[in-house]
Structure 1
Amino acid sequence: MILFCCEVKPIKAIVSSSISTSSRSRSTRFLYELEVSLRKGIDEYLKSGNQTEELQNALQLLQIPGIFRKEDRVSPFISIPFCAGCNIVASILLAVPRITVKTLLKRFCIWLGVEPPDVCQGFFDVNAETLIYIADNTPHLSSQRICTIVFQFMGCKEFFKHDWTINIPKEKNIKQLGVTEKKRSNLNPINPIKILHLSDIHYDVDYTIGSDAACDEPMCCRPGSQPDYFQNAAGRWGAYRCDTSWEMFNGALDHITSQHDDITYIYFTGDIVDHKLWGTSMRRNTKVISSVLEKLKNSFEGIPIFPVLGNHDPHPLNAYSPDSVNNKSFSSQWIFKLVAEKWQMWLPTETKETILKGGYYTVLVKPGFRIVALNSAVCFFTNWWLIFDDYDPYGQLNWLVDVLLKAEENGEIVHIISHVPSGDFTCFKNWGKEYAEIIKRFSKTVIAQFNGHTHRQDVSLYYKDTTMKHPINIAFTGGSLTTWYGVNPNYLVHHVDPVFYVRSA
């Protein structure tokens, strides 16, 4: 049976091998043989639709079950053959006729055990057209670039890439309002203000009590699923492989309002939409985001909420397209327009301009105290649009420098809120590196940072240099209201000095 009707370019023209096998080390020879097996096997599959035994053996060596569910970096021993295999597969996908790409993406996802078949099918039904658009509109796109962006956490590298930088003016001789040791003695621990830090709600509109809470998919508790044992049934208040039900969300907010009736501000650090990465749509995401924001407004009436976007909020998942992309099928303008409207119940009108540009803004909360809200979800490694153009998406980091320069000149204290922590292994390294340089330069102005994304409460220190002897800044990572994956729902309350806006305890 012929799987595809279209002419297929010979695989040997796609990936070339250099250095004779006689001069290869044992590991290099292994990679060479793996490359040959994959090339030959895929070539045959494209012609006949059949997997050869050689292809099956090669794919077996590259099994990566749940690769995008990993919580840490992968060892170099695994990354070397993986990156070699990624380059071969990406080269094949770049060269085959576009009509075959979606099918091959699904096949590789299933063959390599990335996710169960129905998840692979649904995910690439949602994402394939975006990937094809990027491939067709990115000049000189190489397989190495694709693997470097998407699988940087596997150690894949683009050898000829030069990192971009942000122009950061040197420090001026300006009297700082920052918290010096002398000023610390004047902190007021008796009457601190309270900042509620909420993050990663991940509301699942389809959460079903009694459904299977121990499935093989990225997220469980789906309608129509049945548990094998009663212990695996989804409970009223959630389950460890599932996202947040509306009842649990309501219960959490009721608890917070009953226990903390003196909250001054709320920092919401992103991710409203659930983890059903294979079932997103603009309509569904809009409904979920609108429902959650309305509930937050009603539960915390009169309390200013400062929200940011997460990587799960756009459609497709993680995808924030550059403002140069005007095609409505791929543009992220829909979500910026949505939140620009919804967030106005808490934010001043002048924030709309930058929210519409890229989902970020700044607010002078009171004289001397400023909040900067970033869309750091743009740096998430499976934001496909980083392949298209990774230079400072939406000009956000350049804008941040300008905002902090003015804050410095005006003697303001700044809190930065965002979703993805800049030092997290899922954040694009170049973006994270430049962000860290900005924090280093303005460490006397930026008093603290607040992030989400990891679902784990954590504290990160920023240092003056690589000796790690002189900490200069701090970032607080909130936990999550969702129990996904294997965590208890939680939130943070920061007790903050009302003058210098640092934690008083």
Structure 2
Amino acid sequence: MRIRISAVILSLALATTTVLAAPAPIAPSTPNILAAAPSHFNHLQKRNWVTDKLKELLQEALNSLECSACVAALVGVKDVAYLNKNWVLSALNDICPSLSKEPADVCTGLINSQGPVIIDSLLKADLTGGDGKEICFQVLGVCPAPAVSSGTLTFPKPRPANPTIRAASGTLSDVLHLSDWHVDEQYTPNSEAQCNRPLCCRKYPDSPASGANNRSASSWGDYNCDSPVKLGQDLLKYVPTVAKPAFAILTGDVPPHDVWSETQGTVVGEEANAYGVLASLGATVYPTIGNHESGPPNLFPTAASGGDASWLYNSLATAWSRWLPASATNSLKANNGAYTVSPAPGFRIISLNTNFCYTMNFYLYAKTNDYDPNGELNWLITQLQAAEDAGERVWIIGHVGPSQTDCLQNWSALYYQVIQRYSPHVIAEQFFGHTHYDEFALFYNSPTKNAASAISTAWIGPSVTPYTNLNPGFRVYKVDTGNWNVYDAETYVADLNQASTWDAQGTTPNWHLEYSARAAYTPYLSSPSAATQPLSPAWWHNVTTAFESNPAAFQQYWTYRGKSANKIPACANGSACPKEMICDLRAGKSSDACTPISFSLKARSDQRAEAMEAMAGEAMMDPSGLHSLYTRAPLKPWNKKLCGTINKH
């Protein structure tokens, strides 16, 4: 899931992140931070002197948020790491608590788990040759965006001149979309819900005594916390009362957001338990891998980086074997988490591990010009070509959406080409998660973005977890079993503001239909489509046009985007926010997005509410699972997008 990158991880990223191009360590530049150390110092004195200078560089970079300062900090870190990696970790442990306002256990856990991978990647980077600017852009948004340089793909066969789409059957089935489950087995009712850590509603060593909480956690959940086990169980009991799913898709992220303490051992157990609960649904579930599925989170090795995630793929293959055939679980193990399965004749689901585009997967920076790590996009093309040859319809499911700004732009651009080649005659729909919001993104076959050129929709599913400041929710699609297009999408939520009442009255969450996409947006359209027609990419483009011309329509979308939670920030009509949000809805590739990545440091505890009020749009969540804030800060010149040039037809 996408949650805000914590102050810790960003200081860690500045300190040890890398965007790499070289296969082997590149020696530090000369002169460097080491050469400046007084020659008469002994080893301990030199260590202290060097780490002090390194901390100064890091502090300057985070204070100024300027491109040159960020690159200088990375170069300084690399110089020190080349001599002694532990000196870098020591410096980070020294500055983390004061810089991030996080408790020592959070800092230590993050640095010890993420640091070694990041440092190893940093040592391979040519930081002054462009890698430094790229990492400073990708992680902090403080350098100009590098030019998209992934090139043009070659496909096995040319696109058919007049491709045909399988006819609708006239029969609609329910399909359940769950995303960002994030169950917290350590959730403790009546614990502190407004704590000093990235994740609350747990008993920590320094938790206040009983009765001294700032706010006590209800038994059903809290806006600062992940899902208690019983919230997910209750959701699954409710689903059959409103839908009879032919199957379900789960677009990633099962473990909780205690990213500083998640390990291989913890995630394997949490995932096994959660999938056991999901089995109670009684329908086949087709899952995909989220960034939190790995322990530590976010880290998925590539062939270029080295490292081994076979333990994860093997574990998931075992857990998912209750739903997937052997051909799919074997593919999952052989293809770094990707698999394909056919739920019905003429229909195929392709599950991708989109963490290979995720900007906080630091393994990716071992080779920045490897735009298709582990050959996943090449594998996808092979599957789509086979589907085209067989006349099949395809759904693509993944976690991090290619439209999201934390998907690497070169990977996203290549993926966009794949969608253009095989849509709409092969690819019927796409489904992702990660943001926790109820969203969508559009793909076009032309730089001119209008209803005629819209070719594919990416449905971004609402999260089950209320983390952060959202109501728990899920979607039910009405899907034709012939063309496998979506004819309606119904979002269901529970109003977590009433959680204390549920406890007091001994009742359960008030799950209810929040809205039907067709019913909600059709009144705003000048030429509504018939109920016998799917919610096509053209239909959704026309909805975005209505958002531009009708402020009430956009505000309705904004409410639904946040699942009607009363804590969502304003996106005021007349401000830049609506224009940027509409631009993002039309940005199937991340380089087209109008919402920039920027950075500020805030403590989560007593500043949480103020921070949320101050944020808008993409300020919301970044999937590293930590919590410093991406905010809508004044844009650098290189982050300004020409939103005014968006086509309005």
**TM (normalized to structure 1)?**
0.79
Give 2:478's aligned residue: 495
Q: Are 2:190 and 2:216, in contact at CA under 8 Å, matched by a contact in 1?
A: yes
* 1:400 maps to 2:380: yes
* 1:122 maps to 2:105: no
Q: In structure 1, list runs of 5 or more residues that go unmatched.
A: 1-12, 18-34, 65-76
> What is the rounded CA distance, in whole Å, between the counterparts of 1:324 and 1:51 in structure 2?
31
> What is the rounded CA distance, in whole Å, between the counterparts of 2:474 and 2:252 in structure 1?
13
> What is the rounded CA distance, in whole Å, between the counterparts of 1:287 and 1:244 in structure 2?
16
Give 2:264's aligned residue: 282
Q: Are 2:126 and 2:132, in contact at CA under 8 Å, matched by a contact in 1?
A: no
Letter in 1 for 2:469: G
* 1:459 maps to 2:458: no
Q: Are 1:199 and 1:481, in contact at CA under 8 Å, matched by a contact in 2?
A: yes
Among 376, 381, 395, which residue is 1:415 paired with?
395
What's the CA shift for 1:171? 2.7
Letter in 1 for 2:316: V
Letter in 2 for 1:465: S
Q: Which whole-Å deviations, capped at 9, do the CAs of 1:63-113 have from their partners, x for residues lacking one?
A: 47xxxxxxxxxxxx9453563454344434443412323212333544543
- Matched residue SS, 2:429: strand
Letter in 2 for 1:300: L
* 1:257 maps to 2:240: yes
Q: Are 1:270 and 1:310, in contact at CA under 8 Å, matched by a contact in 2?
A: yes
> What is the rounded CA distance, in whole Å, between the counterparts of 2:193 and 2:68 in structure 1?
34
Q: Which whole-Å deviations, capped at 9, do the CAs of 1:334-384 have from their partners, x for residues lacking one?
A: 000001111111111111332113001011222211110101122211111
- Matched residue SS, 1:49: helix
> What is the rounded CA distance, in whole Å, between the counterparts of 1:474 and 1:339 in structure 2?
28
Among 273, 276, 283, which residue is 1:291 paired with?
273
Among 349, 368, 377, which residue is 2:326 paired with?
349
Give the direction of change, closer, same or farther, for the CA distance of 1:52–1:417 in structure 2 (3 Å limit).
Answer: closer
Which moves more between the two structures, 414-423 or 361-370? 361-370
- Matched residue SS, 1:450: strand
Q: Are 1:94 and 1:143, in contact at CA under 8 Å, matched by a contact in 2?
A: no
Q: Which whole-Å deviations, capped at 9, do the CAs of 1:226-258 have from their partners, x for residues lacking one?
A: 388656111111111111111212122112233
Give 1:104's aligned residue: 91
What's the CA shift for 1:127? 2.1
Among 223, 227, 230, which residue is 1:247 paired with?
230
Give the direction of change, closer, same or farther, for the CA distance of 1:308–1:102 in structure 2 (3 Å limit).
Answer: same
Q: Which whole-Å deviations, capped at 9, do the CAs of 1:192-229 have from their partners, x for residues lacking one?
A: 11110000011112111111111232111121323886
Q: Are 1:63 and 1:113, in contact at CA under 8 Å, matched by a contact in 2?
A: no
Q: Are 2:37 and 2:49, in contact at CA under 8 Å, matched by a contact in 1?
A: no
* 1:383 maps to 2:361: yes
Letter in 2 for 1:367: P
* 1:236 maps to 2:236: no
What's the CA shift for 1:461? 0.4
Letter in 2 for 1:293: Y
Q: Which whole-Å deviations, capped at 9, do the CAs of 1:310-353 have from their partners, x for residues lacking one?
A: 00110121001125777xxx411100000111111111111133
Give the direction of change, closer, same or farther, for the CA distance of 1:344–1:48 in structure 2 (3 Å limit).
Answer: closer
Identity %: 28
Q: Are 1:309 and 1:419, in contact at CA under 8 Å, matched by a contact in 2?
A: yes
* 1:266 maps to 2:228: no
Q: Are 1:87 and 1:143, in contact at CA under 8 Å, matched by a contact in 2?
A: no
Matches within 5 A, 1:36-435: 47=46, 49=48, 61-63=60-62, 78-80=65-67, 83-110=70-97, 112-113=99-100, 115-135=102-122, 138=124, 145=131, 148-149=134-135, 151-155=137-141, 156=143, 163=150, 166-169=153-156, 171-173=158-160, 176-178=163-165, 188=170, 191-224=171-204, 225-226=207-208, 230=213, 232-260=215-243, 262-297=244-279, 299-301=280-282, 303-323=283-303, 330-357=307-334, 358-390=336-368, 391=370, 392-435=372-415
Q: Are 2:54 and 2:76, in contact at CA under 8 Å, matched by a contact in 1?
A: no
> What is the rounded CA distance, in whole Å, between the counterparts of 1:107 and 1:478 in structure 2?
39
Letter in 2 for 1:152: Q
> What is the rounded CA distance, in whole Å, between the counterparts of 1:203 and 1:150 in structure 2?
32
Q: Are 1:290 and 1:342, in contact at CA under 8 Å, matched by a contact in 2?
A: yes
> What is the rounded CA distance, in whole Å, between the counterparts of 1:163 and 1:110 in structure 2?
39
> What is the rounded CA distance, in whole Å, between the counterparts of 2:154 and 2:80 in structure 1?
37
- Matched residue SS, 1:493: strand
- Matched residue SS, 1:334: helix
* Aligned alpha-carbon RMSD (Å): 3.5
Give the direction of change, closer, same or farther, for the CA distance of 1:89–1:354 in structure 2 (3 Å limit).
Answer: farther
Q: Are 1:200 and 1:480, in contact at CA under 8 Å, matched by a contact in 2?
A: yes
Letter in 2 for 1:318: N
What's the CA shift for 1:57? 7.6
What's the CA shift for 1:416? 0.4
What's the CA shift for 1:149? 4.0
> What is the rounded CA distance, in whole Å, between the counterparts of 2:133 and 2:125 in structure 1?
16
Q: Are 1:120 and 1:278, in contact at CA under 8 Å, matched by a contact in 2?
A: yes
What's the CA shift for 1:421? 0.3
Letter in 1 for 2:325: P
Give the direction of change, closer, same or farther, for the CA distance of 1:350–1:92 in structure 2 (3 Å limit).
Answer: same
Matched length: 449
Give 1:450's aligned residue: 431
Letter in 2 for 1:280: E
What's the CA shift for 1:128? 2.5
> What is the rounded CA distance, in whole Å, between the counterparts of 1:165 and 1:373 in structure 2?
23
Give 1:31's aligned residue: none
What's the CA shift for 1:157? 5.9
> What is the rounded CA distance, in whole Å, between the counterparts of 1:294 and 1:451 in structure 2?
22
**TM (normalized to structure 2)?**
0.63
Give 1:10's aligned residue: none
Letter in 1 for 2:311: W
